[in-house]
Structure 1
Amino acid sequence: MDSSYSVIPKDSYVELQIQNDVQELRSQQQTHKRLLPFDGENWVDPKIVDGDDVDDDGDIDIDNYPLVHVTSNNRSGISGAVFNLTTSIIGAGMMALPATMKVLGLVLGCVLIVLIGILSEISVELFVRFSVLCKARSYGEVVQSAMGRTARVLSEICIIINNAGVLVVYLIIMGDVMSGSLHHTGVFDQWLGNGVWDNRKLLILVVVVIFLAPLCALNKIDSLSLTSAASVALAVIFVFVCFVVAFIKLIEGKIEAPRIGPDFGSKQAILDLLVVIPIITNAYVCHFNVQPIYNELEGCSPQKMNQVGRITTVLCVVVYASTAISGYLLFGKDTESDVLTNFDKDLGIRFSTALNYIVRVGYVLHLVLVFPVIHFSLRQTVDALVFEGAAPLAESRKRSFALTVVLLALIYFGSTIIPNIWTAFKFTGATTAVSLGFTFPALIALRLSHQGVILSTGERFLACSMLIMAVIVSIVGVIGNIYSIRSESE
């Protein structure tokens, strides 16, 4: 369960657990001198770390520190962790990337996809390092160790808004693809003609109740490793089909010349340019699931988690760049904010109809399998914020079930009132996503470095750079969104 080790109400379940943990840590510290001390508020005080824990360069040796004490024998290997982390990243944000490529152009678009992916991986590694030093079990606990309880609450609110927004987008995509929209024909319409399946709200409700609710009811993220592997496979199939179709049309000379750089020729083009960078930032946010995945990693250590993060980053950069390039080449200036909706038309090659169905249905299944992974961290964070001091969520089936039902109901309601995924991504990308992925990790690293944790010059520079970038992206994105709304209403 997500809970803090400081400012905890008396007579609570967690306080008794902490007392036992403190006694155990003190005992281990006397015999092994390998664990960080507990000072009554935080799990680390670098000033009093035993000399045996410092290497020859003066850095704290944290490679073998476990993040938490986990008694379960069911641990995931590196492959399972990679699948879960990749699933946390590759989702609906992937569908908006061809539209961002249309705005940025091929060169700048590819550069930003690679650059933001690398920065995101660096922020994850910094975050894991300080999570271990603070003996934190959740994103919020690390934030509280560095910046206090108010910052923790703010970070948890960001996680809730970001994850809820992402899940709403998933449902919007499912509805648009299967039942259609004002400008696009749905899969069911093409298969069966007009019928009850034209009711988008009813279709989404059926998907939520029959397919999503049972997966979301699972209490361990490692239980989703197989579904995560399947979701990654489906995403790769989508990318492969798009890339092959684009390559064939390129060879046949059926693709118009793409834009190489951004367009500054109109006010609307400049406004679009301001809001697309936060969308790319949003596509890489996975930090809220790093701790749960780390906690269930077999033989967990920072080195192992860094290996998981690097493999995941390479995979995601390849998938994202391939999707953005092939999607933009296929549809050019007609590329929609949700590129899946473009696949209701003839692709201009053989077997076009079959390929359209494979792409759309396959990606809807991918989102169905990704949904519970994002929901897991959403439910854990809501529980930590609302029921702080209660027993772990895994030990309270009634509370877990109630939270799952309430959250799914609210997410479903949100999917019925938000117009499209572009609207959702523009705002979450410029606010909560950039905060979770860059602002908080950079602040944590810089704040704890002032408390005695050693950062190299390069790490300090990267942390400062990420913080500056996050502030600029957030301010520019919010201003761009406001002006876009005003221009659309005029």
Structure 2
Amino acid sequence: MTVDAAALLTPDGLVHRGHSVCSEDCLNTGQIGRYGDAHVGSTDLPRCVLNVLLSVLGAGQLTLPYAMHKLGGLWWGVLSLVVFTALSMHSLKTLSYYELYYTPQGCLESYSELVIRVLGGSFSLLCQFLLIFYAWGGAVAFLVILKAEFLAFFPSCGRAVLCGIACFLWCLSSCEDLTFLKKFSWLGCVVAVLITLVTVFVSPPDVTEQSLQQFFSSSHEPSLLDVAASLPLISFSLNSSWAYIPVLCTLSDKSRTSSLILWSNVLILLNYLTLAISGYCRFGKDVKPNIMDSLGSDYADSWMVRGAKIALCVQLTLALPLRFFVARKTIQDGCPSLAKSRASLAFALVLAATLAALPDVSLATVLGIVSGICASMIIYILPAIIDLRHRRTITPSGLRGTDLASLFLSLVSLIVGILILLGSLWANAMGVAVGS
């Protein structure tokens, strides 16, 4: 992917709001979707909301009850989910603002293209690194979950089963085209909702006065390290920014962008609050980093729990090749000399992820590190930098009240992103996120 070294948004280029500053050369290089592409503006609002849900709901929610416990209890956990959802919505609003500003009739194809075109080609390497690490690190998290489930189903040979699955993943990840696997993307959303339903109905919390007092009080006094290790878990579960640009590209009525952001995030928040509150109220301080482990220990014979676990394994197994595929293709795009090394690159990526997942590593640790590096950059830091650098340029006649509010929220997002980035790495290096 070739990208101009200079940023697309420049002080001289952004004077008149509502007009694209992209030249035909940009379109011809393939960086911006052509106005005649069939997928551009081809989808209505409900389907776009569903696509955002499909891209977000999944394995990240499994750690939410544990994060609530580590944050000190129900109220702090709920407040964190609401605040981080609001910051995620601001990030999407910022991305929409710049996407629609200079491509009002067309669209960029990905988050990375938007960042590179706005901030310049110097950010190309950073975007490539984030994409590779986010895809590969998420694959490690998936493998950690699979290992735990295989050990529960096959106590004597769970790790051997994981290695067998890894061979299957290598074969698929070496393929030139994995489009057919996208047909199974809906499984992630279905499994996420299924896990929430199982948590609510299979393990209903006690409703006695004593238990309610216990659950509404702090499960423990969180330290600064606990907070630093827990907040990235919430950030990871809310990362819709990376997949949002392609979805926005397909929205037929761009005036309904705010509705797309609002409805998708409200539905995500409702699912997460239901799972997190139910799981925390049922297990309290004994909740595991993966809520499925808590359910498995107390409800191993429940057919609903077994069904949810099997569905989760199937969904993760089908989702893993796409993550390795994305990481491999990004490496090949950055190093064209490796274009013919599909099998070798896929083998290295799958082997490294499997070796990282085989030891007794906590899911909270893996997601904390991945989120600390990637989610903090993708959701908070890069959109905030874009807004803080260019909003004044876009409105040279003077900033309005909404512009000032956006700049303030972008500054908050930047600070939050930096704190998550530094705090999570510090906490995970200290081993705080490792669950028992």
Query: Aligned in 2, Cα 1:400/1:49: closer, same or farther, shift over 3 Å?
Result: farther
Residue 361 (structure 2) aligns with: 419
Residue 410 (structure 1) aligns with: 352
Are 1:460 and 2:428 counterparts? no
Residue 250 (structure 1) aligns with: 206
Residue 244 (structure 2) aligns with: 290
Are 1:126 and 2:83 counterparts? no
Q: Quick one: which amino acid aligns to residue 161 of structure 1?
A: F
Distance 1:165 1:44 in 2: 32
C-alpha distance after superposition, 1:172-205 (max 9, x if no partner)? 1011112x2xxxxx1245xxxx5xxx141x3123
Quote how far apart the aligned CAs of 1:276 are: 0.6
Aligned pair partner of 2:164 in 206, 209, 215: 206
Aligned pair partner of 1:238 in 195, 204, 207: 195
Instruction: Provide the TM-score with structure 1 as the length reference.
Output: 0.72
Are 1:371 and 2:320 counterparts? yes
Residue correspondence of structure 1 range 37-52 to structure 2 within 5 A: 41-45=6-10, 47-48=12-13
Residue 381 (structure 2) aligns with: 439
Q: Quick one: which amino acid aligns to residue 92 of structure 1?
A: A
Q: Quick one: which amino acid aligns to residue 126 of structure 1?
A: T
Distance 2:182 2:60 in 1: 21
Distance 2:333 2:130 in 1: 13
Are 1:260 and 2:258 counterparts? no
Q: Assess if the C-alpha contact under 8 Å between 1:446 and 1:460 holds in 2.
A: yes
Quote how far apart the aligned CAs of 1:434 are: 0.7
**Structure 1 spans left out of the alignment, 5+ residues:** 8-40, 181-185, 391-395
Residue 4 (structure 2) aligns with: 6
Quote how far apart the aligned CAs of 1:327 are: 1.4
Larger of the two Rg values belongs to structure: 1
Aligned pair partner of 1:68 in 33, 40, 47: 33
Quote how far apart the aligned CAs of 1:487 are: 11
Residue correspondence of structure 1 range 55-204 to structure 2 within 5 A: 59-60=17-18, 68-69=33-34, 73=38, 77-78=43-44, 81-104=48-71, 105-133=73-101, 136-178=108-150, 180=151, 186-189=152-155, 194=156, 198-200=157-159, 202-204=160-162
Q: Assess if the C-alpha contact under 8 Å between 1:238 and 1:359 holds in 2.
A: yes
Query: Aligned in 2, Cα 1:459/1:230: closer, same or farther, shift over 3 Å?
Result: same
Distance 1:417 1:74 in 2: 43
Residue 429 (structure 1) aligns with: 371
Distance 2:61 2:434 in 1: 26
Aligned residues: 414
Q: Which moved more, 1:314-323 or 1:253-262?
A: 253-262
**Structure 2 spans left out of the alignment, 5+ residues:** none
Distance 1:87 1:120 in 2: 16
C-alpha distance after superposition, 1:280-309 (max 9, x if no partner)? 1122123333334445x264x654555444
Residue correspondence of structure 1 range 372-411 to structure 2 within 5 A: 372=321, 374-375=323-324, 377-387=326-336, 404-411=346-353
C-alpha distance after superposition, 1:350-406 (max 9, x if no partner)? x95212212322222332344355456434533443339x9xxxxx8x666665554
Query: Aligned in 2, Cα 1:199/1:370: closer, same or farther, shift over 3 Å?
Result: closer
**Root-mean-square deviation (CA), in Å?**
3.7
Q: Assess if the C-alpha contact under 8 Å between 1:271 and 1:484 holds in 2.
A: no
Identity of aligned residues (%): 19
Query: Aligned in 2, Cα 1:272/1:431: closer, same or farther, shift over 3 Å?
Result: same
Secondary structure at the counterpart of residue 451 of structure 1: helix
Quote how far apart the aligned CAs of 1:436 are: 1.3
Q: Which moved more, 1:403-412 or 1:111-120?
A: 403-412
Q: Assess if the C-alpha contact under 8 Å between 1:340 and 1:360 holds in 2.
A: yes
Q: Quick one: which amino acid aligns to residue 143 of structure 1?
A: V
